[in-house]
Amino acid sequence: MEKKIHYGWIVIFMGLVTTVAAHGFGRMAYTILLPAMKDGLNFDYTQLGLLGTGNFIGYLSMAIIGGFLAARFGTRTVITFALVLMGVTMILTGLAKSFGFAFSMRLLTGLGNGAAYVPAMALGSAWFAVNKRGFATGIVSGGIGLGTFLSGIIVPFILTSYGTNGWRYSWYILGICVLLVAILVFLFLRNHPEDKGLLPVGQEEKGDIQNSSANNKVSSLDWSQVYRMKALWYLGIVYFFYGLSYIIYIIYIIFFAAYLVNEMGYTAAWAGGLWATVGGLSIFCGVIWGSISDRIGRGKGAALAYLVLGISYIVYAVFKSEAGFYLSAILFGLTAWSIPTIMAAAAGDFVGPRLAPAGLGFITLFFGIGQSIGPALGGYLADISNSFTLPFLIAGGISFVGMIFSFYLKKSSEKF
């Protein structure tokens, strides 16, 4: 008799489409929409950066809280409601006529983004054994690249088709897509293998499923295990450097098209095509780096990823030619979501499947300290310096520091 597909693969696919909607459409599409929004609303780069900051503040808030909510009330419920919030506020973003309204909608979209993304990234810890956890989490993070790739193809077409109102129709269409994904998640996502009478994918030992299911509800007392774990604090410090490099990383993903079009003189179509290349390559980066961390360890995997990211930033700053931009895009695309993937898998390693969403939410606090100020600072630097060179060099240096700290990640986890 033919062996049935484990339901864990369906769950991971739901995680994939969640990240397509939450990160790919809700956040990364903003990169391509930015020049058109700037012209349509007469905003400067600082205002556009502040819109990004509003989005990230919302994301950070719910990334932390959403992880605990998912541990308490279930991933399926939290992700569904989060995607509905995103879809509605993205549609309303298309109606924006003032900075205040646009900022409010981006803030609310960010709340939904964080509440959807963090629980989705923790699905691999719940449904897969430790030696397959990085690979499974990488599949989920691949949705970011897939969503970015699709945005790089769809959004320029809409912008061309609808002229000056193209950015508004882009938000309408992307918002509707997110609402459709919310329906899919509600229908097919399940919180734990025990809900289907299964063990995690790759787990050979026979456990007591019934007893395991009884422990799925997390009390406030259990949550204290997360922030009292010293190894998780160190993991948060490693993640902090990824967030700190977001000071520049956000310039890369948000001001990518604006830089190439307004400063370097390339066409919007060329910039969109290069951004689609980044998205296309980054579809696979989570699987690549998650698998690497499964094989060589989370610490060494993170160190190698930081090294490649640092090189991509420096190449983008120094080699200002088509060849340099393509080389940077390739390196960045193949490594863009490597650190979040490894951190999500590592959080599950430290706290276990039951508390994985809460653990990931906790370390996201460290990441978000740097991330939340990135867009506004990036826009401000662009306005006053008219150049992105120095910030990218700084980002490279920050990534190299993250690489050094990553080498000690495994030793830190072994101590506690």
How far, CA to CA in Å, does 43 sit from each of 29, 104, 126, 369? 18, 15, 44, 26
Give alpha helix (H) positions in 297-406.
298-318, 322-335, 338-351, 356-371, 374-385, 389-406
Closest to 375 measured CA to CA, from 221, 248, 200: 248
Q: Which residue has the higher pLDDT, 247 or 184?
A: 184
Q: Which residue has the tokens 């276990």?
A: 352
Mean pLDDT of 287-310: 94
Least confident interval from 54-63, 274-283, 329-338: 274-283
Q: How many CB atoms lie within 10 A of CB 104?
A: 17
Note whether 387 and 379 are within 8 A (CB): no
Token representation of residue 11: 């769950």
268: Cα within 13 Å, side-chain hemisphere: 13
Cα gap 111→188, rounded to integer Å? 23
Tell me, what's the pLDDT at 337? 86
pLDDT tens string 43-60: 877 787 788 778 878 888
pLDDT tens string 368-416: 776 666 555 655 666 676 766 777 777 788 899 999 999 988 654 444 4
Note whether 82 and 58 are within 8 A (CB): no
Tell me, what's the pLDDT at 268? 61
Q: Which residue has the tokens 């969403």?
A: 357
Q: What is the pTM of this model?
A: 0.81
Percent of the residues in the chain that have a pLDDT greater than 70, as a whole number? 81
How far, CA to CA in Å, does 282 sit from each of 134, 286, 294? 16, 7, 19
List CB contacts of 295: < 8 A, sequence separation 6 or more: none
pLDDT-derived band of residue 1, with 50, 70 and 90 as boundaries?
very low
Query: By CB neighbour count within 10 A (0-12 exposed, 13-18 middle, 19+ buried), where does 100 fall?
Result: exposed
The whole-chain average pLDDT of the chain stands at 82
How far, CA to CA in Å, does 60 sit from each of 109, 302, 366, 373? 12, 22, 10, 11
Pick the most confident of 35-49, 229-243, 288-302, 342-356: 288-302
Tell me, what's the pLDDT at 411? 56
Note whether 230 and 413 are within 8 A (CB): no
Mean pLDDT of 354-371: 84
Note whether 118 and 70 are within 8 A (CB): yes
For the chain, what is the total number of helices (H) and then of strands (E)?
Answer: 21, 0
Tell me, what's the pLDDT at 289? 94
Q: Report the b/e string of 34-69 with b at 16+ CB within 10 A.
A: bbbbbebbebebbbbbbbbbbbbbbbbbbbbbbbbb
Which domains does the chain possess?
7-193+224-415 (1.20.1250.20)
